[in-house]
């Protein structure tokens, strides 16, 4: 028998994830705060939040399945696919290495509502600032991205290990 309260939590947190995942406002931060407000904390909450975010990742992979499949199948022959693979690795490595090295410290010090709320406010202020400043477009699209710029994006995304900091916001 399923606990109706858990179903309600799943519904509420699923809505929070769905609304916040693809906006530059940190879905993880919003899930942590929503979980705290609901009183849904502990191991069940952690497992649920991981599962719900994996679902969002699978949705993105599904959306880009044709392009990803093409890249994988043409890695040996197409320079554009090779460049994309290098850029994806360059963008992934900073967060992976820093996350591996500092996992315990990140979980212990940063996963609390005060840090999350602070990061959300700081992120909001930075987005407002970025919108008001003059924009200089340096890259038209992913195909023109250099590995150095991809690495810089990776370091910016590493900031998103602070819950409440948006990966997409850091990238933008």
Residue 134 lies in a domain: yes
Residue 154 lies in a domain: yes
Domain range enclosing 96: 87-172
**97 lies in the same domain as 153:** yes
pLDDT for the residue numbered 167? 83
Backbone CA torsion sign across 48, 53, 59, 61? negative
Best CA proximity match to 91, nearest among 29, 145, 10: 145
Query: Are 88 and 132 in contact, with CB atoms under 8 Å apart?
Result: no
**49 lies in the same domain as 110:** no
> How big is the CA angle at 59 (ends 22 and 50), to the nearest 5 degrees?
80
Residue 153 lies in a domain: yes
User: pLDDT tens digit string along 100-149?
Assistant: 999 999 988 888 889 999 999 998 898 889 888 877 777 667 778 899 99
**98 lies in the same domain as 166:** yes
75 pLDDT above the threshold of 90: yes
Residue 102 lies in a domain: yes
Q: Which token pair is 23?
A: 């906006």
CA–CA distance, 89 with 83 (Å, rounded to integer): 10
**96 lies in the same domain as 148:** yes
For the entire predicted model, the pTM comes to 0.79
**103 lies in the same domain as 168:** yes
**54 lies in the same domain as 101:** no
């Amino acid at each position: 028998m399923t606990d109706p309260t858990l179903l309600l939590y799943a519904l509420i947190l699923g809505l929070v994830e769905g609304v916040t995942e693809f906006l530059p406002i940190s879905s993880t931060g919003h899930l942590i705060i929503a979980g705290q407000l609901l009183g849904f904390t502990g191991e069940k909450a952690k497992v649920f939040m991981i599962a719900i975010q994996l679902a969002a990742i699978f949705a993105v992979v599904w959306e880009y399945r044709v392009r990803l499949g093409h890249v994988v199948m043409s890695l040996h022959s197409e320079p554009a696919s090779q460049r994309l693979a290098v850029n994806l690795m360059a963008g992934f490595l900073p967060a992976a290495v820093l996350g591996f090295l500092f996992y315990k410290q990140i979980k212990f010090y940063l996963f609390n509502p005060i840090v999350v709320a602070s990061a959300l406010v700081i992120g909001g202020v930075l987005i407002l600032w970025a919108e008001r400043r003059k924009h200089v477009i340096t890259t038209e699209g992913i195909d023109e991205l250099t590995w150095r710029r991809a690495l810089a994006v990776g370091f910016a995304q590493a900031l998103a290990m602070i819950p409440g900091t948006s990966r997409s916001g850091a990238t933008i």
